[in-house]
Structure 1
């Protein structure tokens, strides 16, 4: 039974990464049309969907992070803080939280919107790729 439970965290985190890629794809669509005159036909819908997927990603990733911390000592009998997977997962979570904060700042208005928008995009790209690396590093921790 513990072997089956040990796969819940990785499966959930893979699903979260799929959602993160969907949010990233929508963000790239918004970036593609930035600076062009006028508003493209479904810009508001794309922004709304991008924010929804971002909220889901950050919430589910945070929950999965906590699930990973709990599952290491309980299901695997190992210290949760002693692996490269933990280090890079923590880095990815911090980057995602930073991306969420900058996205929140854009939603609620800021004087330096273009700077915050650029930082948001940078943090989001970096967070997705660091989380992919953390996922690969987690393979050695599977039972």
Structure 2
């Protein structure tokens, strides 16, 4: 399916800062567990689900970067990784 080139440009402009913010939030979770709650940083199911989501987002970003540079044509892989990562948001409180 062909898309408008402006949609691609908008996706690239929004996805990069969104990924940075997401990963900063992911890094803040274990810090919060240790310093604010005094608990082990990865001792909960929430931490496992968050780690999985962060990994999926990072993988989608890596594939997306290869797509942006023309080093890959794996559009479907990028889409499925992102879908799996976003689907996990329903599980996180």
| Pair in the same fold by TM > 0.5 | yes
Name the counterpart of 2:54: 93
How many angstroms apart in 2 are the aligned matches of 1:74 and 1:64? 15
Root-mean-square deviation over aligned CA pairs: 1.4
Structure 2 stretches lacking a partner, 5+ long = none
Name the counterpart of 1:56: 17
Q: Please give the TM-score of this superposition, normalised by the length of structure 2.
A: 0.91
Q: How many residues align?
A: 93
Deviation at 1:60, TM superposition (A): 0.5
Q: How does 1:1-143 map to 2 (within 5 A)?
A: 34-35=1-2, 43-110=4-71, 112-113=72-73, 116-133=74-91, 135-136=92-93
Deviation at 1:132, TM superposition (A): 2.9
Structure 1 stretches lacking a partner, 5+ long = 1-33, 137-143
How many angstroms apart in 2 are the aligned matches of 1:94 and 1:52? 21
